[in-house]
Amino acid sequence: MDEFSKKIIVTVCPLCKGKRRKFFESIRDSGEELIYFLCTACGLVFQSPRMGDADIIEFYKSYYRKKVQGTETPTEKDLRIQAGRARHLLKLLQRKVEVIKRHLDVGSSSGALLKEINAAYGCEGIGIEPGEAYRAASQSLGFQTFQHLQDLPLGTRYSFDFVSIVQTLEHIPDPVAYLSHIRRNWMAPNGILLVETPNLFGHRSLELTHLIAFSPRTLRQTLELAGFKILKLNIHGEPRSPILRLYITIIARALPVNTKLHKPRFRANLVRQRRLMALWTLGFLTEKIPSYTWRDLPQL
């Protein structure tokens, strides 16, 4: 990855903007040495140094999938996991949302979630997917899919009553600013947001492309700072495990643009201890009862 060797030192916490941090964990992934820090004010775990912003754009365009799964084209394993995840998320959504007219899926990948939401709600679906091969897969299903948010037609501003960002926010350098931009520029009033990320207290989480590792608290506070009211927070293992707490899913409502936002109460208690316990549990269950801990891959 010599072409992406220039790194940025993260000196300010992406969540609370504090400057107090301490070493959290280092790992080696995809041939890269990664270092993560813990913000001692709010408890967010973030990668530093990280890839530069311009390099991130180019990396996701043509290198990301090849780096993490060996090929840029969708694999059967990935497609099956995405299909199972989309069906699970649809069930969660249907408990809270009766009508969807326009759906924006940020990080739409192969288009599995666009397909499920479109079939259930009969809505228009548009995707954002930086990877060329996966974007083509989404387009082959009949969905308009663009490389970046700024590529969206101007006529779609303020029009999406449902936005999903699934297994994507952990890749974003400044998630608060990113979510705030979507709320202020692309969402309809009172629009619904669906976000899912790996869970720091259940999933291994730390990977080359994961710039941030969210806990349930830090993900909730990220959405609140960006102007969203939490309607539902669910911690689960679907579609991969019936018992592990691998993922955090939040359904939230966009607050009016002129709403005065209140800073949440930050704290960073027991983050390391909870992380160690989660990893021990993951390893123990995988070793002792693997057939119960992990499900077979979902069907397409």
pLDDT tens for residues 27-77? 998 788 999 999 999 999 999 999 888 888 788 877 787 777 778 888 999
Q: Cβ(111)–Cβ(193) under 8 Å?
A: no
Q: What's the pLDDT at 64?
A: 80
Q: Cβ(29)–Cβ(47) under 8 Å?
A: no
- Percent of the residues in the chain that have a pLDDT greater than 70, as a whole number: 98
- Domains of the chain (ranges; CATH) run 53-293 (3.40.50.150)
- Mean pLDDT value across residues 141-152: 95
Place 5 in a pLDDT band, splitting at 50, 70 and 90: low
- Mean pLDDT value across residues 243-259: 96
Q: What's the pLDDT at 212?
A: 98
Q: Which residues face 23 on adjacent strands?
A: 37
Q: State both tokens at 3.
A: 């072409």
Q: Using one digit for the tens of pLDDT, what is the confidence trace for 193-229?
A: 999 999 999 999 999 899 999 999 999 999 999 999 9
Q: How far apart are CA 117 and CA 88, in angstroms?
A: 11
Q: State both tokens at 115.
A: 């397909």
Backbone angles phi, psi at 132, to 5 degrees: -65, -45
- Mean pLDDT value across residues 253-280: 93
pLDDT at residue 2 is higher than 60: no
Q: Report helix, strand or coil for 266.
A: coil
What average pLDDT does the chain have?
A: 94
Q: Cβ(225)–Cβ(270) under 8 Å?
A: no
Q: What's the pLDDT at 30?
A: 78
Give the CA distances from residue 107 to residues 16, 35, 113, in Å, rounded to whole numbers and listed in that order.
25, 25, 10
Q: Using one digit for the tens of pLDDT, what is the confidence trace for 155-172?
A: 899 899 999 999 999 999
Q: What's the pLDDT at 6?
A: 77
Q: What's the pLDDT at 118?
A: 98
Q: What's the pLDDT at 4?
A: 53
Place 263 in a pLDDT band, splitting at 50, 70 and 90: confident
- The edge-to-edge listing of strands for the beta sheet with 32-39 is 21-29, 32-39, 45-47, 212-213
Nearest to 200 by CA among 124, 278, 146, 95: 278
Q: What's the pLDDT at 50?
A: 94
